[in-house]
Amino acid sequence: MEMDEVIGKILHGYRPACVVMTANELKLFDQIKQPATAKQIAETLNLHREATERLLNSLVAMEIITKKNQTYHLPESAHDYLTSGGSRSLQQWIQLAAEFYPVWGQLSPFIKSGVLIKSVMEMLGSDPHKMKTFTNAMHDKARKATWLIAREIPIGEAKTMLDVGGGPGTYALEWCKLHRHLKATVFDIASVLSVAKNYIEAYGLQGQVDTRPGDFHTDDLGDSRYDLVLMANILHMYDAEMGRALVSKAAKAVKPGGRIIVHGFCTDENQTSPFEDTLFNLNIAMLSEGGRAHPIKEKINWLEGAGISDIRHFRIEAVPTGVITGRRHH
């Protein structure tokens, strides 16, 4: 590809994103589970007919929906991902992406000042609805990762598990569904656990998964209590000093011979790959004081310093890609 094509593709990258985010916001995908015309959709949703038609045609061009004889249809294979109540719904994740979209418009002032644009924790903490959307989005995003990690790591060896900062409890729930002998505790702040409890009920796993409210910065996680301790999507929210301290605390909660798993954004050593992790590194700087996609080697050093050995790392075809695991010394 010539440089002008490369730049052209990059410059237009936000447009397809806007189309999908808008269609999701307007609940348009729900309207075309069955074939419908632009006129029918616009009337049902109280939208402008011609503008709706142009949006629908763009979705067809992007190969997300189909068009035949002036009717639009969401293929059955996409129902689970894009409609309300879909078993692999991405609706909340798309909504979250839309909320962070304006932040990228402030990239230039950020580069000039280095001052964060918006604190993600303040933004979420001050608005229960946004906190709920964020937590639901984490569930949407995490499911695929849980399956891919379970293929690589023998989760079934564990009988007890702690999901540190577990949010909706997706990892604990998916792994407990897979291994009926596994008992898991989701540790997070109370407002997040109210969402987790809904998921535990929806999965019907009240007997296997419980919750424990607390703040992992100040509260003890226990000493040598769990066969498996997970830290997913946490360390990239904090600076290196805080990251090291959290890893040390989590490692103490692992029984001798037990396992710790760290899943999150992490760049390779030169901090210019993978692509998603490098862009996240920029994004999180606009949203938090110290967050970064810490290089893999740095995270491995934290684990080694906390008494973890037999460390291996790999990447999965999910977001985020980076997984590091090891065992606590006997």
For 149-195, write each residue's pLDDT tens digit: 999 999 999 999 999 999 999 999 999 999 999 999 999 999 899 99
CATH of the domain at 145: 3.40.50.150
- Do residue 180 and residue 311 come from a single domain? yes
Q: Note whether residue 93 is domain-resident.
A: no
Residue at a domain's end among 55, 88, 121: 88
Judge whether residue 136 has pLDDT over 90. no
Instruction: Calculate the dihedral angle through the C-alpha atoms of 292, 243, 184, 123, rounding to the nearest 10 degrees.
Output: -50
Same domain, 263 and 322: yes
pLDDT over 70, % of the chain? 99
State residue 127's pLDDT score. 77
Last residue of a domain, which of 88, 121, 144? 88
Query: If you average pLDDT over every residue of the chain, what do you get?
Result: 95
pLDDT at residue 16 tops 90: yes
| Residue 312 pLDDT exceeds 90 | yes
Neighbouring residues of 75: CB distance < 8 A, sequence distance ≥ 6: 65, 66
Residue 174 belongs to domain spanning:
107-328
- Is residue 311 within 8 Å of residue 323, measured between CB atoms? no
Report how far Cα 14 is from the mean position of its chain's Cα atoms: 20
> Which tens digit of pLDDT belongs to each residue from 70-98?
999 999 999 999 999 888 889 989 998 99
- Answer yes or no: do 214 and 152 share one domain: yes
Higher-confidence position of 244 and 133:
244
pTM of the model: 0.91
Question: How far is it, in rounded angstroms, from Cα 7 to Cα 78?
Answer: 30
Is residue 263 helix, strand or coil? Answer: strand
130 and 217 co-located in one domain: yes
Neighbouring-strand partners of residue 325: 261, 312
pLDDT of residue 152: 97
The number of folded domains in the chain is: 2
Residues 81 and 172 occupy one common structural domain: no
Q: How confident is the model at residue 130 (pLDDT cuts 50, 70, 90)?
A: confident
* CATH label of the domain that carries residue 58: 1.10.10.10
196 and 64 together in one domain:
no
